[in-house]
Each structure stands twice: as C-alpha cells, then as structure tokens.
A and B are shown apart, each in its own frame.
Chain A
Amino acid sequence: AQSVTQLDSQVPVFEEAPVELRCNYSSSVSVYLFWYVQYPNQGLQLLLKYLSGSTLVKGINGFEAEFNKSQTSFHLRKPSVHISDTAEYFCAVRRGQAEKLVFGKGTKLTVNP
C-alpha cells in the first residue's frame, strides 16, 4: 500500500531562519506530489504540486519543493520564514491515475520571534 511519511511532527524555528519539512513516500510507480498548508481554524490550501517536468517546484508564499525520485522524497523548503508561516503542513501523494490522495500525518511549523 502506498504511504507518506512526514518525518517531523513538530518543527520550531525562529523568524527569518530557513526551514525544511521532510516528506518521503513509498510507491513503485509514477506519482503526483502535493504540499498543502492548514492555517489555524481553516481548511487546507494547496502550496505547490509536482506533476511532471522540472523537479524543483515553486509554490505560493516563497515555498519550494524538490522531487527526488531516487530517494522517493519531496521535501518542502523556505529560505526565510515569517511568523505568518506558522501552520500545519501536509504532504500528499496520488499514484498514477488513481483518484485517492494519500496524506502524511502533518508537520506543525511554529515560527517564533
């Protein structure tokens, strides 16, 4: 079965520091990869997605992610975080043409002043 592992459940960082949120997936076939963000008391919003092509994907709010097929990873990065980036981040994978989106358990990013 397909699975998504977010290696860190909580990541505290200081404002203006860089951050990397890790995501690994298991699949033997081609996948489509997504990062969603959930701000407090809100629904999920798409940050970025990888469907094909360039392995470096840029998203909203200065985030980017790199698809690494050999390591089956799709880590999310931001070079300098703001207080407003405090949220929970979810990595998700869709395998091939299947409809199901499989989510990781989430990483809570807390940006401290």
Chain B
Amino acid sequence: EAQVTQNPRYLITVTGKKLTVTCSQNMNHEYMSWYRQDPGLGLRQIYYSMNVEVTDKGDVPEGYKVSRKEKRNFPLILESPSPNQTSLYFCATGPLDNTREQFFGPGTRLTVL
C-alpha cells in the first residue's frame, strides 16, 4: 500500500529541546516537502527536496532544518523549538512528472510550551 508516514503524530515539548519529526514514503518519489498548517493561514511550505542531498527553502524555513540522505526519508529538525512553532505539520511527496501531484502524510501536531 502506498504510504506517507509521519512520527510522532502528537508531540508536546518545551522550549529549546531539540526534536525531530520523521517522514517516510514507499512510493519512490523524488520530491518531498514539509508544510505547516495554522488556522487562517492555510498551508505554508517550510522546506522541500527534489532528490537525495538536494534541499531548498520554502516560504517559512526559519527555525527548521531538513536532510535528505535517503530517497524515502525526509526528517524535519527543530534544533531549538519555540512556542511560535506550535502547529500542525504535514509531509508531502510526489513524482517529478507532469502531474506533480502531492501525497500527504497524516500530520504531526506539535505543541511547544
């Protein structure tokens, strides 16, 4: 079954404590991306990756890091989380063909106290 998985699904943490949210896909997609969703703001892109070892900033990259060491994984790293990073995070993947459709993971709800 084609899947995009995220872990954890829910996380409550404190300011400054480093955390990683994992994203994994089994569809052999080249493109992977992270979004955050906030009420009234829709989805905003944080980072994306076109292939292994290729990453680039989206609209709101401050305070986040990513890596793409393997095609299937695209972890999102918050080195020093702050309360304004409390949000719902989605990983998305897609092929680099003309459809450019994106498949979304189930989301990770992060609360930073």
**A residues lining the B interface (CB < 8 Å):** 9, 32, 34, 36, 42-46, 49, 51, 90, 94, 99-101, 103-106
Contacts and interface: CB of A to CB of B under 8 A. Distances in A.
Interface stretch (B43-51, B67-75, B78-86): B43-51
14 contacts: A42-B106, A43-B4, A44-B104, A49-B101, A51-B99, A99-B31, A101-B33, A101-B45, A101-B92, A101-B100, A103-B43, A103-B44, A105-B40, A105-B41
Most chain B CB neighbours (cut-off 10 Å) among A36, A42, A106: A106
A100 B90 CA distance: 15
B50 A99 contact: yes
Given A99-B48, A105-B40, A43 B31 contact: no
Most chain A CB neighbours (cut-off 10 Å) among B44, B45, B105: B45
Interface of B: 4, 31, 33, 35, 40-45, 48, 50, 58, 90, 92, 98-107
B102 A105 contact: no
B67 to A, nearest CB: 18
A32 B98 CA distance: 10
Contact of A43 (B42, B45, B58, B107): B107
A46 B99 CA distance: 12
